Amino acid sequence: MTLRALLSFKALINQPIDPTTGKCYPLFQVKANYEHPYFTTTPASTELVESLNNIPNNIIASTKNFWRWMDGTCEFCKSTKGPND
């Protein structure tokens, strides 16, 4: 499940260009406003970068809600903590 979600996210980010139109499919909508000499976007570019960086972390963090089972048994695995936990 986790691997499939991460691979799907990677496929969205690295999607090929459509040969008929020469464009990629959009991932989100950004509105731009230009009032000389200022150029603004909604949402801000920092919010977009932060959101895109959080997606893989959120996919991995979502797996912590599931119990792990010992292979071939009906017993739960003991919880372990990694170096970042």
Among the listed residues 69, 61, 63, the one whose alpha carbon sits nearest the alpha carbon of residue 1? 63
**H/E stretch holding 2:** helix 2-13
Per residue of the chain (85 residues), give pLDDT as tens.
Answer: 788 888 888 888 888 888 888 888 888 888 999 998 988 989 988 998 998 899 988 888 887 777 777 677 777 777 777 666 6
Rounded CA separation 59/21 (Å): 32
pTM as predicted: 0.59
- Do 31 and 42 contact (CB within 8 A), yes or no? yes
Per DSSP, the residues of 24-59 read: PPPSS--EEEEETTEEEEES-HHHHHHHHHHHHHHH
